[in-house]
C-alpha cells in the first residue's frame, strides 16, 4: 500500500469528510450516477485502474469492474449489505469489503412513523381533499367527520424485527405512549426489558393495533405474512411496511384491505418498483403510499460518509474495519 492510497468514490459523499480524507488519501470523487451499472462502464475506467480502494453505493463493483481494478485492496459499500459488490470475487482476491450498517436506520424509523401517523390520522387523504377545494362553508365540519382517526396513546404496536430500525421504531412508539410487542426469533426474551415484550408471531398478530415490518429479507422471511398469517391479524388493525415488500404476500394484503379485515396500510416498498400504473393500491383510499423514500435523506449521506471514512482510515493503519462482509479475508480459519 502506498503512503497516500488512491481512493475512488462514486457514492454520494459529504464534501467536508472528503476534504478531511485528502490529508492522507489521493481521492477521485465522481458525481453519483445513481444507476445500477458496472463501475467499468461509468467513464471511471482510468481511476478504477489505479484505485487501491473504492467507495460505492449504487454502481456495481462486479466481476467486470474487479477485472478492471488490478490494484484494488479495499471495497466499501455504502449499504447495510454489499448488494452492489461481487463479494465472492473480492474474497477470492483477498479484498476486504466494508459496509455501513444502520446508516439509514433513524430516517427509516422516522418514515415508518410518518406512514403510521398519516394512515391512522388520514392526513394524506385530508390534505388531498383540502387541496381539491372540497372544504366549503356549506359544511365546515365535514372534514371532522370524514377524517376521524385513532390516537396512538395506549394502543399496541407489533414490531416485526428487533434490529436497528425496529429498535428505533420502538423508541418512537414508547414516546407516543404505545405498548410494544416484538417478534424476532433471534433475540432473548428480556432484550428490551420493560420497554417491550418479545413474543411469538401468532401472539403479536392477534394483539397488535398496528404492525410494522422491519425484518431483513431472508429465505425465512419472504412471505412471512401470507394469507394464513394475515387472517390471524386482529380485525381492524393496520399494517405499515417501510422495510421489504416481499415479507408480505401481495395478494393476501390486497384482499385483507378490500374486505376491511385490515383497516388500512402504509407502504413505502412494493413488489414491483416503480409501482405499475393501474395497480389496485391506487384505488384504495385506506392506503398511504410513498415511493420508496425511507432512506432518502442528506443525513444518511453524512452518516455513511463518516462510516466509510472510518473504514478507510482503519484499513490504512493496517487494522480491520469495523463492519466487514467477508471477515475471512483477515481470518481464513
Count of alpha carbons within 13 Å of 245, Cβ hemisphere only?
17
d(CA 138, CA 140): 6
Q: Is 244 a catalytic residue?
A: yes
Give the burial string for 274-294 (b: 16+ CB within 10 Å, else e): ebeeebeeeeeebbbbbebeb
Given 45, 142, 146, 273, the catalytic residue: 273
Given 155, 167, 244, 304, the catalytic residue: 244
Given 93, 172, 174, 292, the catalytic residue: 292
Count of alpha carbons within 13 Å of 4, Cβ hemisphere only?
8
d(CA 185, CA 161): 9
d(CA 214, CA 161): 5
d(CA 99, CA 84): 11
d(CA 306, CA 209): 38
Measured from the Cβ of residue 19, the count of other Cβ atoms closer than 10 Å reads 11
Measured from the Cβ of residue 328, the count of other Cβ atoms closer than 10 Å reads 11
Longest Cα–Cα distance in the chain: 77
* DSSP state letters, 188-252: -TTTTTTS-EE--HHHHHHH-SEEEE-----TTTTTSB-HHHHHHSPTTEEEEESS-GGGB-HHH
Q: Is 292 a catalytic residue?
A: yes
Q: Would you name the residues annotated as active-site residues? A: 244, 273, 292
Amino acid at each position: 500500500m502506498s503512503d497516500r492510497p488512491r481512493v475512488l468514490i462514486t457514492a454520494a459523499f459529504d464534501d467536508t469528510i472528503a476534504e478531511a480524507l485528502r490529508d492522507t488519501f489521493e481521492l477521485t470523487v465522481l458525481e453519483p450516477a445513481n444507476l445500477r451499472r458496472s463501475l467499468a462502464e461509468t467513464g471511471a475506467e482510468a481511476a478504477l485502474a489505479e484505485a487501491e480502494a473504492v467507495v460505492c453505493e449504487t454502481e456495481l463493483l462486479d466481476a467486470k469492474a474487479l477485472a478492471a481494478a488490478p490494484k484494488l485492496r479495499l471495497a466499501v459499500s455504502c449499504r447495510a449489505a454489499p448488494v452492489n459488490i461481487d463479494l465472492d470475487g473480492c474474497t477470492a482476491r483477498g479484498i476486504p469489503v466494508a459496509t455501513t450498517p444502520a446508516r439509514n436506520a433513524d430516517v427509516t424509523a422516522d418514515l415508518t412513523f410518518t406512514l403510521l401517523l398519516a394512515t391512522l390520522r388520514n392526513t394524506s387523504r385530508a390534505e388531498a381533499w383540502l387541496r381539491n377545494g372540497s372544504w366549503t362553508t356549506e359544511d365546515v365540519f365535514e372534514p371532522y367527520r370524514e377524517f376521524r382517526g385513532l390516537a396512538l396513546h395506549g394502543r399496541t404496536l407489533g414490531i416485526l424485527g428487533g434490529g436497528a430500525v425496529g429498535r428505533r421504531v420502538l423508541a418512537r412508539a414508547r414516546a407516543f405512549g404505545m405498548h410494544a410487542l416484538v417478534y424476532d426469533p433471534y433475540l432473548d426474551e428480556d432484550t428490551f426489558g420493560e420497554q417491550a415484550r418479545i413474543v411469538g408471531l401468532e401472539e403479536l398478530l392477534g394483539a397488535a393495533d398496528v404492525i410494522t415490518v422491519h425484518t431483513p429479507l431472508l429465505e425465512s422471511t419472504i412471505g412471512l405474512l401470507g394469507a394464513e398469517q394475515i387472517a390471524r391479524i386482529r380485525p381492524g388493525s393496520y399494517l405499515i411496511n417501510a422495510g421489504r415488500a416481499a415479507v408480505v404476500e401481495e395478494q393476501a394484503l390486497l384482499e385483507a384491505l378490500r374486505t376491511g379485515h385490515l383497516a388500512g396500510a402504509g407502504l413505502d416498498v412494493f413488489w414491483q418498483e416503480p409501482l405499475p400504473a393501474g395497480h389496485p393500491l391506487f384505488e384504495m383510499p385506506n392506503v398511504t403510499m410513498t415511493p420508496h423514500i425511507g432512506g432518502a435523506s442528506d443525513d444518511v449521506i453524512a452518516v455513511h460518509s463518516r462510516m466509510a471514512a472510518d473504514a478507510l482510515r482503519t484499513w490504512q493503519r493496517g487494522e480491520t474495519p469495523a463492519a466487514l462482509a467477508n471477515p475471512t479475508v483477515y481470518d481464513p480459519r
